[in-house]
């Protein structure tokens, strides 16, 4: 009889440097103790904006997504696959983690489809996901770190929202935990109180009335997408707290919002 493989943890992190100073810093010790097989998806928005400003390129967003022409895509590729991915992998390797840098382009892992809003330019949405490469790396004890770039059907690179990429990979891998680490303690109500648990209809209602807005919209919808495709537990959590990730995996949901379908027992 073969032993059951450890469960999978899908983490989405921002693109700032000093990745391991907050909750992500729990990962090396979790892995050393035989913790979950882990995949990381990272963003890089602030660094992309800084580079575009240095290059005197226009910066604009619509519904939390960057308007990306050919020049903006070139800047995004330089930042995501070069600067941010390398920095993340380097920090993890320095802490003894066998991290590997990838993007959705590698091995055709993620197929991009043009975004439904053509005004966004070279932005894509996640189509088919082929997680074979990720599974091979996980089986070897490695931690794939994935930049949100992917090829479309005509071989053109497109930039994907990192939250959307994370939701798609989580669903394809059947991740036991999907955790979006951010700089807020989950979703907040209008009065500033913390939403500990939200159902899909509640999330959509909060988007419609503006309680969830801007860059939190694709994050919340990515959570719902992962949930709808079989993810067993999806969270938006405060990534600033060292110990927060370990606590969350142990059942402590303070500083996090759990997304769950009330019709499904979890």
In a domain, residue 2? The reply is no
In a domain, residue 103? The reply is yes
Name the pairing type of β-strands 123-129 and 65-66: unpaired
Structural domains of the chain, count: 1
Q: Are residues 112 and 151 in contact, defined by beta-carbon separation less than 8 angstroms?
A: yes
In a domain, residue 17? The reply is yes
**Apex 176 CA angle, 24 and 149, nearest 5:** 60
Distance of alpha carbon 192 from alpha carbon 189, whole angstroms: 5
Residue 266: per-residue pLDDT: 43
Distance of alpha carbon 163 from alpha carbon 144, whole angstroms: 16
pTM exceeds 0.75 for this model: yes
Using only C-alpha atoms, the chain has a radius of gyration, in whole angstroms, of: 17
In a domain, residue 97? The reply is yes
Distance of alpha carbon 141 from alpha carbon 124, whole angstroms: 30
Q: Are residues 36 and 170 in contact, defined by beta-carbon separation less than 8 angstroms?
A: no
CA atoms within 13 A on the CB side of 121: 16
Could you list the active site residues? 12, 15, 45, 163, 219
Distance of alpha carbon 50 from alpha carbon 56, whole angstroms: 10
Distance of alpha carbon 180 from alpha carbon 130, whole angstroms: 21
Residue 27: per-residue pLDDT: 96
Residue 263: per-residue pLDDT: 53
In a domain, residue 3? The reply is no
10-residue averages of pLDDT along the chain (266 residues): 77 86 94 95 95 96 89 97 96 97 97 94 94 97 98 96 90 90 84 86 90 83 76 84 90 86 52
In a domain, residue 266? The reply is no
Residue 230: per-residue pLDDT: 64
Residue 265: per-residue pLDDT: 42
Which residues, 6 or more positions from 146, have their beta carbon under 8 angstroms from its beta carbon? 39, 40, 41, 42, 102, 103, 104, 109, 134, 165, 169
In a domain, residue 222? The reply is yes
In a domain, residue 264? The reply is no
DSSP class of 96: T
* Domain assignment of residue 122, given as a range: 8-259
Distance of alpha carbon 147 from alpha carbon 161, whole angstroms: 10
> What CATH number did the domain enclosing 153 receive?
3.40.1160.10
């Amino acid at each position: 009889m073969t032993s059951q493989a450890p469960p999978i943890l899908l983490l989405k992190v921002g693109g700032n440097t000093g990745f391991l100073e907050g909750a992500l810093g729990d990962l090396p010790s979790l892995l050393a103790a035989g913790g979950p097989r882990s995949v990381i998806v990272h963003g890089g928005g602030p660094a992309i904006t800084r580079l575009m400003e240095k290059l005197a390129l226009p910066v604009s967003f619509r519904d939390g997504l960057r308007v990306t022409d050919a020049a903006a895509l070139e800047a995004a590729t330089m930042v995501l696959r070069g600067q941010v991915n390398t920095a993340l992998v380097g920090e993890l390797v320095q802490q003894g983690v066998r991290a590997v840098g990838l993007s959705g382009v590698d091995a055709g892992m993620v197929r991009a489809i043009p975004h439904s809003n053509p005004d966004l330019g070279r932005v894509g949405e996640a189509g088919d996901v082929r997680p074979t490469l990720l599974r091979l790396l996980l089986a070897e004890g490695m931690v794939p770190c994935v930049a949100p770039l992917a090829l479309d059907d005509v071989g053109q690179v497109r930039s994907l929202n990192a939250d959307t990429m994370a939701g798609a990979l989580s669903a394809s891998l059947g991740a036991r935990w999907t955790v979006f680490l951010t700089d807020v303690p989950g979703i907040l109500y209008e009065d500033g109180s913390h939403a500990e648990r939200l159902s899909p209809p509640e999330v959509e209602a909060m988007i419609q009335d503006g309680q969830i807005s801007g860059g939190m919209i694709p994050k919340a919808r990515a959570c719902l997408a992962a949930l709808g495709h079989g993810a067993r537990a999806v969270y938006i959590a405060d990534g600033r707290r060292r110990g927060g990730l370990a606590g969350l995996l142990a059942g402590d949901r303070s500083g996090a919002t759990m997304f769950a379908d009330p019709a499904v027992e979890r």
